[in-house]
Every structure is written in C-alpha cells, then in structure tokens.
Amino acid sequence: TERVLTDHDQAVNRISNVINSMVSQGMRAEDIANHFYPGNAQSMRDDNIPKIIRDATVRAKRTARTEAAAREDAIVEQTFKINNVKYFDWVTEPGACQKCTFLAMSGPYKVGDEASPRVPESSHPNCRCRRKPIAKDDLDFMAEKKLFHAGKYNDQDLRFKAKKVSGSKYDIWSQGDTKKYRDTIQTVMRILDGKNERIPRIVVVTSKKLPGIAAYNHIQDVMYINNKLGNATEMSKEFNTGYFAAKTVEDVLTHELAHKSHWDSAKALYKSKPKMYNTVEGAKKVLDESLENYVKNVQAQEMQYLDKYISRNAERNFEEGSVNEIVAEVAVLGDKLEDKVLLNLVSGVLKDGTRVRNNGSTK
C-alpha cells in the first residue's frame, strides 16, 4: 500500500511539474488540459468508449484545466507585481456564466487586494476567464479642499470637504484618497468614458455620510457618489434588494445622468421663455405634465403598475408627487421596458427629446 501511495504521489508531482512548465511556456489552461486528455465527450461517444470512462476522463480534464488556470493566474499575479500594475480588469470568454459576467462588469480591481477576484477560486472550476492589467493609477489629490453642501437629509445638513482629483479628464473631487476612494474613482472614470452625455462635477464621499448610493443636485449640477460604488461585494448587496431598477454600477451612473438630463431639459425650457414659466421648477412642471397624467391614468387601471414594471423606488417617489425617479429608472431599463408609450414620454422629457437607448443610457 505504501508503495502504491508513493507511486501516486510521484505521479502527481510529475504532472504538477509538467503543468508548471507548460504554463511558464505561455500555454493556456485549455491547451494544457487537451495535452493531458485529448478529445472530448462527443468524440469518446463516437469511439464507443464506456460512459464510466468518459465521465472520469471529462472530470480529470476539468481538474487539469482548473489547476492549470490557477497556476497561470499565479504567474499573472507575479507579473502584475513585478511590473507595478495597480489595477486589473476581469476578462470573460464568449458564453461566460452570469457570475463571471458580473465580475467583469464590476471591475476594475486592485492588484494584491484580498477582496479582488482570482481565477478560478473566485469564479468556478473550469473557468476560462483571465485578468488583464489596466492603466496605472495616475490619480493625484490636490491639497486644497472645497466645501460641498449636498442638501438636507432627515433634517441634517450634508456637508463634505473634498479634494480636487488630478489625473482625470473629468471634474472629480474626493473626500478621501484611500484605496476605497481610488477604486470608486477608477470605476466611475471607466464607465463615463463610454457615455455621450454631458458629465457634471462629481464628488465622491464616505458611505457613512451619504444616504443611498448616489445623488444628483440640480442646483449645483453636482453628482454625489458613495465611495462604496467601487466595491463589487457591497454593491451586489445593494442591487439584490430589488428596490431600484439598477443592477450594475453603470446603471447607477445612468440613473443619475438621467436626472441631470431631465433638469437640463427643464432649464432649457425655462430659458426659452423665462417670463412664461417664472422659475425652472415651473418649466419642469409643464415639461412633466404629460408623463405625470399618463402614469396616473395607467395606475388607475393597475394599482401596482410602477412597482411591477419599473421599481418600488419609482412608485414611492410618485406617491410623493414627483416623476423624477420614474424618468431615471426608465432611463436604466431602456428598451427592456414593456410599456413603449412610457418609454417615449420619458424620452420626451430628457434633454432635446432624445430617445433612451436599449442599453439604458441616453443620446
């Protein structure tokens, strides 16, 4: 028995050494698995190989691929550190599972951080994903601080002192410069690069002070963002509540940018005829009138309409007499919204009457 165990251990060590050698030569996990176990389940069926042997071979091949992926990822981690890479993206292959797709959407991630995902332990066995380095963090935080007043919440003034962030093409200010803030800023910048809307000033603040994930102040034209936005684990908990239409960090920014577009439309309408509307709020009331009446009529026929088709957030806000959250939530849902009449009405109140694209953003 001891000799059998010794032979087994030696065989495992030899296989391990071969895998290490192949990985160091640049071979991918899939290629390594095919080297050890050529063919697949279908080819073995064609060759009339018994099912028990087919299943054992498939399991062994999966194990080899998973082990090779782990070794490959370990080398990637070492390469990141040698080259002073600070952040990476999670890159999926075609047909990736929901878990890996979420990991890809939730990046970028900090190299060396225990909370950052690794292949395959953060995903699943047989994972084909990989980690790709992204541009070095060139963010710098200027010494001078500015005081921001976001408004009131539960009768408390929300005031934040923040530093200007240099190294970004956007007007970003941050209350802190720790990893949590940097991760959030990097995430926001990456997503904004794919947006066509006009971007307001952005202030990243501590989650201890800002209620909710993000907020837009139309008077200041400032978007306040919770510094947990860059943490995939924390944001996953927020999305799982189902209270908002947002399911990704990009959805959150789409939501807030829709608020800006909505108010920009009202401001443009007011400026076109200031004597007629007296105030921006007065112009906005006229702008929203058709949308508000439509929702009232639909709700008269189906009481749970907003909760069922949009979100509880939209329903609660409408009960308080505002269509603001309906507009922002519909911008997130885009063409996924079944009610195309509502979709067109929301598009009409956004700046220049532009439609909501099928990915939820405006253009």
Q: What is the pLDDT of residues 1-42, one digit of tens each?
A: 344 334 434 544 555 565 556 555 555 555 554 554 455 545
Q: What is the pLDDT of residue 289?
A: 95
Q: What is the pLDDT of residue 269?
A: 92
In the numeric block, the tokens 């007043």 are attached to 149
What is the overall mean pLDDT for the chain? 81
The region of weakest confidence among 9-23, 165-179, 253-267 is 9-23
Which ranges of the chain would DSSP assign to H, the alpha helix? Answer: 2-24, 29-36, 41-46, 51-82, 98-105, 179-192, 232-240, 249-272, 274-277, 280-301, 305-309, 312-319, 324-333, 340-349
pLDDT at 363 over 50: no
The region of weakest confidence among 103-117, 252-266, 323-337 is 103-117
Distances (CA, A) of 185 to 147, 293, 331: 19, 39, 23
List, for residues 279-318, the tens digit of each pLDDT value.
999 999 999 999 999 999 999 999 999 999 999 999 999 9
Coil/strand/helix, residue 279 = coil
Q: What is the pLDDT of residue 1?
A: 38
Q: What is the pLDDT of residue 338?
A: 93
Q: Alpha-carbon distance 277 to 286, whole Å?
A: 9
Coil/strand/helix, residue 349 = helix
